[in-house]
Structure 1
Amino acid sequence: MMYKDQLNRALQFKTTPKRIVSLVPSLTELICDLGLEAYLVGVTKFCVHPQHIRTNVAVVGGTKQVHIDKIEALQPDIILCNKEENTQDIVENCSVVAQVHISDIYTIDDCLALIIMYGELFAVEQKAQELVKTITAKKADFLKTIDNKPKPKVAYLIWKNPWMVAAQQTFIDYMLSINKFENVFGALQRYPEVDLKDEKFKDAEYVFLSTEPYPFKESDAIAIQASYPNIKVILVDGELFSWYGSRLIKAFDYFKKLHQEYLN
């Protein structure tokens, strides 16, 4: 059987792959929500959903550094990677061990396409279709709630020391646009370093501090609020802005609450 990943790379399997190593936290959760948790033999130290997964499954490193010897010892049929989260070296080294499926996500349509891909690849087509249907319905319902709403300007901080923001060509920027937020750093690329005194912050009506990858706390929000008293600084759930698997089921309810609590 021949399949393709989201980089249009061909993968060949004689039978449905049953031993999965996932090097992407959001995809680990997706695999479990597709009913395939029993197939997982390796995950990263950042795979925190479901909470028990790192207890039940071997941990093979992080998303940027992995222990190839540990992965090889697990004898996987397939290794799940992501173009953004995993390095080219990781992909190349893993390719010596097993077939590597690479996801490439920028939009929700990309997410839904990946879910369908996994449904076919792991022979769980019905479950995949159900997930896609649920996410699509929740997105449509959310978009109705923000129809005719204004487009507030926001800055989305993902890191501290150095300060870094999410800019264009990122899934976070796409999720901001879904929420009808205008990214004041949207003209920049990817995840640039910025000065907290950058004039663009003065254009923002809101500054969002993400809980991941840097774990911003309320104390950070208070400190930035002191520097920008006319801007509302909000601590936001980074997983719901950046995870592109089945966590999207929870994202739109969260966004609805975010608008209701802070933007009305």
Structure 2
Amino acid sequence: MKLIDALGIKHQPVDAAQAPRIVSLVPSITELLCDLGLAQSLVGRTGFCIHPADVVRGIAKVGGTKDVNVDKISTFGATHLIVNIDENEKPTVDALRKIVPHVIVTHPLAPRDNLALYRLLGGVFGRVAQAEALCAQFESAAALLTPGAPQRVLYCIWKDPWMTVSRDTYIARMLEQIGWQQWPAPTSMARYPTFSWSDALVQAVDLVLLSSEPYHFGEAHVDSLEQQIGKPVRLVDGEMLSWYGSRAIAGLQYLRRIQSEC
């Protein structure tokens, strides 16, 4: 099996006699590495890498996903760095390439991309059996999903200004698994466009989803917005809908649950 990352770079499996030293700058990837049995190989992670909490507590923090402490990483003797095209800044990654021998770039754009992600990391780090077990769990969860009545939804990630996601995002493609179509911003090509609550927008959507991250929406926002727009609004778990990796398995199960509730 060829181990190709999101930039088309081919990677080699780690020698079984050598212990990798991995820095992960992607929260969902950190969780995936732990679920693959690689927690002991992780020497650095971001402050946003919070799962599994009892495991990552003992792994050194290297800043955030976009404000990485390059100098600190240079002291770790890392053999591998794992990054994501959306979440990490290219100049930072370029600087780290001079320090870390192997840089693995990830960029899942749809739920089924997780299968290749599991196999890539499992193949590189000698966890093929664990990766295949995750693939089987993913397939089982996906098989239980059935698209219901079509819903036009608006998934909100921020307010002041209000921001949403484009259809060309992992989140939108997760919602499509149950027949929910994300509202397209008609005047923007941005992946995370801003918008205002015009009458035309309100009429164009059936359901508004307020994500728990990155903006921490709460019930007060739901009540206020429902009064303002006169359409149903509900809170959703942002981690379940935006985190890829092993969290995607629980995310598919979560989709099934919220579908039944709406």
Q: One fold, TM greater than 0.5?
A: yes
Q: Is 2:151 aligned against 1:152?
A: yes
Residue 81 of structure 1 and its aligned partner are, at CA, apart by 0.1
User: Which of these residues, 89, 100, 104, is aligned with residue 101 of structure 1?
Assistant: 104
Q: Is 2:219 aligned against 1:222?
A: no
Unaligned stretches of 5+ in structure 1?
A: none
Q: Is 2:135 aligned against 1:135?
A: no
CA offsets, 1:164-204, max 9 Å, x none?
10112110111111120121226553110111336223211
Checking the alignment, whether the CA contact within 8 Å between 1:173 and 1:186 is kept in structure 2 is no
Instruction: Map 1:18-167; keep pairs closer than 5 Å.
Output: 18-98=20-100, 99-143=102-146, 146=147, 149-167=148-166
Unaligned stretches of 5+ in structure 2?
A: none
2:220 & 2:64 partners in 1: Cα distance?
28
> Normalized against structure 2, the TM-score is what?
0.92
1:210 & 1:30 partners in 2: Cα distance?
22
Q: Structure 1 pair 221/14, CA: closer, same or farther in 2 (3 Å)? A: closer
Aligned length: 256
2:183 & 2:111 partners in 1: Cα distance?
22
1:13 & 1:33 partners in 2: Cα distance?
18
Residue 11 of structure 1 and its aligned partner are, at CA, apart by 4.1
2:202 & 2:65 partners in 1: Cα distance?
31
- State, as a whole percentage, how many aligned pairs show the same letter: 35
1:23 aligned partner, one-letter code: L
Residue 110 of structure 1 and its aligned partner are, at CA, apart by 1.5
Q: Structure 1 pair 134/12, CA: closer, same or farther in 2 (3 Å)? A: closer
SS in 2 for 1:52: helix
SS in 2 for 1:38: helix
Residue 9 of structure 1 and its aligned partner are, at CA, apart by 2.0
Checking the alignment, whether the CA contact within 8 Å between 1:119 and 1:125 is kept in structure 2 is yes
CA offsets, 1:12-58, max 9 Å, x none?
67736611100000000000000111111100010111013442000
> In the alignment, what sits opposite 2:6?
6
> In the alignment, what sits opposite 1:182?
181
> Normalized against structure 1, the TM-score is what?
0.92
> In the alignment, what sits opposite 1:199?
200
2:44 aligned partner, one-letter code: G
Q: Structure 1 pair 122/237, CA: closer, same or farther in 2 (3 Å)? A: same
Q: How well do the aligned residues superpose, as a CA RMSD in angstroms? A: 1.7
Q: Is 2:177 aligned against 1:209?
A: no
SS in 2 for 1:220: helix
1:92 & 1:10 partners in 2: Cα distance?
18
SS in 2 for 1:4: coil
